Amino acid sequence: MSSRSLEQVTSEINECARRYPEFAQVKKLIEVLFQKQDSLLDKVKVNSEDLKIELLELENKLQNGVPLFASTVVDKELLIKFAEDACEALIETTPQLTENFHMFLEKLKQSIMQKDEVRISDVFSLMQEMEQSKQLERDLTTFFLTFVFSGVIATSLKDTIESIDTKLWEKGICPICGEKPHYGYLKGEGGSRTFDCWLCGCQWGSPRLKCPFCDNVAIDDMGYFTVEDNANCRIYFCKKCNAYHKTFDVREFVQDDVILAIHNLATLSYDLLAQREGFKPGSGLQWVNEEEHRKSAN
């Protein structure tokens, strides 16, 4: 995500506003956030020795389904700096929530600093902890934290990810950080599926007729749906584990290198529809707030 230039990001935001009309409501917010993020990218310092992995160890981990860098330590000060800038951008565009964002930021800083170390594998539990604090609605908590954590981690691991061949990887979770996918894309003549990690930005191939969350391969238990006339975004679901993920069909897109993180933000109404149908996000990311979820249940 962070490896793209601000110009590329802006172009993708405009493309999403064209493809998904509802995105126009938050377009300005997303633009401001990515401008803030862009100003911080050169501050990401990575010790290449910390990410060094021997070829034999790499192949063994991939073949045995062990994520390569889940135990990598994240720079706590950089996390906080990203969070402060994201908070500033959110207040700029939604000033009515200024107090809520300040309270959330202070709670997040406390949670980060009280830990001896924050490893990549700790990120999801930290997100759940912040969601349970109820400083913000859970969808806004997810939005805030995925932006902060992915900005730091994807930038830190960028060069390493680009150098690793994940063809040996056969599991549904990310081969780099171990997180479960929330979205992917279909590409190529046969429409092969590739997942794009929401946290570190790694991409890996996955069979379309296999659930990434429970490994179910029974065709009768799986399916997908689209919304109205927009087939660019599909909700794939599995009735065995009751989980869903989003898949974007980019085979007709003009731009080859699509930034799926932005397409995900542009289609959050699809997440609500998936939960209205009784499915839960296999990734664990809650993009629907509790009030919307209650209305869906009724």
pLDDT of residue 218 exceeding 50, the answer is: yes
Q: What is the per-residue pLDDT for 50?
A: 60
Cα–Cα distance measured from residue 133 to residue 46, given in angstroms and rounded to the nearest whole number: 31
User: Hey, how many other C-beta atoms are within 10 angstroms of the C-beta on 75?
Assistant: 17
Q: What is the per-residue pLDDT for 24?
A: 84
Domain boundaries of the chain, sorted by first residue = 6-162, 183-297
Cα–Cα distance measured from residue 224 to residue 131, given in angstroms and rounded to the nearest whole number: 29
Nearest to 258 by CA among 78, 44, 16: 16
Q: What is the per-residue pLDDT for 178?
A: 96
pLDDT of residue 1 exceeding 50, the answer is: no
The residues facing 119 across adjacent strands are: 73
Q: Report pLDDT digits (tens) over 72-119.
A: 999 899 899 989 988 988 898 889 999 999 999 999 999 999 999 999
Higher per-residue pLDDT: 165 or 290: 165
Q: Mean pLDDT over residues 184-210, rounded?
A: 89
- Tokens 């065709």 locate to 219
pLDDT confidence of 160, banded at 50, 70, 90?
confident
Q: Report pLDDT digits (tens) over 7-66.
A: 888 899 998 998 888 888 888 888 888 887 777 766 666 655 566 677 778 888 888 889
pLDDT of residue 271 exceeding 90, the answer is: yes
Higher per-residue pLDDT: 47 or 261: 261
Q: pTM of the prediction?
A: 0.91
Q: Report pLDDT digits (tens) over 278-287.
A: 999 999 999 9
Cα–Cα distance measured from residue 49 to residue 184, given in angstroms and rounded to the nearest whole number: 31
User: Hey, how many other C-beta atoms are within 10 angstroms of the C-beta on 159?
Assistant: 12
The CATH number given to 183-297 is 3.90.1670.10
State whether residue 73 is helix, strand or coil: strand
Higher per-residue pLDDT: 230 or 201: 201
